[in-house]
Amino acid sequence: MNAKISNVVARQILDSRGNPTIEADVILESGAFGRAAAPSGASTGTREALELRDGDKKNYLGKSVQKAVNNVNKAIKKAVVGLDALDQRLVDQTMIDLDGTENKEKLGANAILAVSLACAKAAASHLRKPFYRYLMNSKEYIMPVPMMNVINGGEHADNNVDMQEFMIMPVGFDKFSDALRCGAEIFHTLKKVLANAGFSVAGVGDEGGYAPNLPSNAVAIEMILKAIEEAGYKAGEEVYIALDLASSEFYKNGKYVLASENKSLSSAEFVDYLEDWVNRYPIISIEDGMAENDWEGWKLLTERLGKKVQLVGDDLFVTNSKILREGIDKGIANSILVKLNQIGTLSETFEAMAMAAEAGYTCVISHRSGETSDTTIADLAVATGAGQIKTGSLCRSDRVSKYNQLLRIEEDLADNAIYPGLKTFNFSDDVDADDSTAEQNAETDEAEKAHVAQKNTVVEETIVIVEDEKNHTTEVKEHIVEKTESLVDDAQVEDNKEIKKAESVGSDATAEAHPKA
């Protein structure tokens, strides 16, 4: 049946912080349907694609996204109706060209992303495939190692902790479901550990982690290590620590200002500070260890710690291939955080991931602090073989929904699901792990081979997509001229019957018709 787009409908909904965001439905001529919502960040990189908000203080205190909604329901709809939803690059490039700006400021990255993802989900539904299988067809799939945010600070919490996220990574397991259970048990044990130490556990931060006031940033790590032990697990073997410092948020006038510790450090001094932590604690990953504009600091950090821990660029790279290429050429970091809304389309996200994999950088699929129950990133993590996912703590449905989707996917895959553990890290041979038998080593090697194979598949298929882009350009431009030459600022109101029909389809749909996952 026909996979051409027949209708696009957008609406304003609320995210996990009670702020408006945009949700889009894409309906195909076959009757297939896809729905997706755009997330929103709190600590954002200055070079991210633009999230379009209305700015009217009388409407959701300026955070309304009705302009983005209108852009979807008018201009974007006119441009993409009639396109083949199975041609993701064509749909995405049509919207990119229609916007015509470097950072998608005309239509809004939130508007474009919602349609991009909804289109892909509609295509998956049309083919009657689970979303992850539609994105990447493979015999075996790599389940991601979760980064579980158990203590929140910085912009994500109302406390005195300077650094944004203190996370655990359960690597010493054979299945994702066992790793998830480990994380949940540590999370609940941590509540008791914090309470027994006299710290408040009355509330949680934006991403579901506890948010107590602490004497220093290091105390957060020490509390987590105690919880790991009391939960019956071994830190540095089964479970490691990961950090998101969000350093740009406390980088002021060329200094890293740790207010809770009354310290103001130069770039070199802050690298010393972090190196001391790595030597003292079982830290395996540091995100945004230096500020996004402190490239000299990043260079020094990479030289000192790049062979010991994963150094993830979030605000540094903002899922942007051009910026990532510069970082790769300069030897900055060794990993990229992948946030769909930083760049604004699924196709551009794949391009950045392919570039990272080709350069030997790891990829971490990530949520935002302002989330919805949309589970797209869970499928994306499995489909791409990224090997890591960062989607918050073990509470709040906006976080847990992604973990639950991963459980469903693992169940669907059965023996074809591989949990990579430490082998998801490029430097993992340098990390002490308890591989005590030849059988364990053999199993780990098989996981590593499968992981590499899946990443290579992503690289190869994405390179094909990029090469095809040139062939699409003429077709895209011709289509835009044809579909938008009649556009004016006050676009004609859409056909009421058509909208009602689309909304009816949307309200009746409970999933993307995936046969298990």
Q: Could you list the residues known to form a binding site, using ranges.
A: 164, 244, 287, 314, 339, 368-369, 390
Interstrand relation of 255-258 and 251-252 (parallel, antiparallel or unpaired):
antiparallel
Residue showing tokens 């909904």: 13
> Collapsing DSSP states into helix, strand and coil, what is residue 311?
strand
Instruction: Check residue 494 and report its DSSP letter.
Output: P
CB 240 within 8 A of CB 148: no
Residues 6 or more apart whose CB falls under 8 angstroms from that of 104 comprise 49, 50, 96, 112, 344
Active site residues: 207, 339
> Collapsing DSSP states into helix, strand and coil, what is residue 19?
coil
Rounded to an integer, what distance in angstroms lies between the CA atom of residue 496 and that of residue 477? 29
> Collapsing DSSP states into helix, strand and coil, what is residue 235?
strand
CB 22 within 8 A of CB 114: yes
The closest alpha carbon to 160, from 71, 277, 250, 89, belongs to 250
| Residues that constitute the known binding site for Mg(2+) | 244, 287, 314
DSSP-assigned states of every residue in 294-305: -HHHHHHHHHHH
> Collapsing DSSP states into helix, strand and coil, what is residue 329?
helix
Burial class (CB in 10 A: 0-12, 13-18, 19+), 442: exposed
> Which tokens belong to 289?
């260890």
Rounded to an integer, what distance in angstroms lies between the CA atom of residue 339 and that of residue 283? 23
Under the phi-then-psi rule, with left for phi > 0, alpha for psi from -120 to 50, and beta for the rest, what region is 108?
left
CB 123 within 8 A of CB 31: no
| Residues that constitute the known binding site for (2R)-2-phosphoglycerate | 164, 339, 368-369, 390
Residues 6 or more apart whose CB falls under 8 angstroms from that of 7 comprise 25, 26, 27, 77, 81, 498, 499, 501, 502
Rounded to an integer, what distance in angstroms lies between the CA atom of residue 50 and that of residue 341? 9
Residues 6 or more apart whose CB falls under 8 angstroms from that of 503 comprise 9
Determine which helix (DSSP H) or strand (DSSP E) holds 263, and give its type and residue range.
strand 263-265
User: Please, what is the angle between helix 109-126 and helix 88-99, to 10°?
Assistant: 160
At CB < 8 A and 24+ separation, what contacts does 197-201 make?
A: 197/223, 199/223
> Which tokens belong to 396?
């709040």
Please state the three-class secondary structure of 386-414 as a single string.
CCEEECCCCCCHHHHHHHHHHHHHHHHHH
Q: How far is CA 336 from the centre of its chain?
A: 10
> Which tokens belong to 190?
């941590």
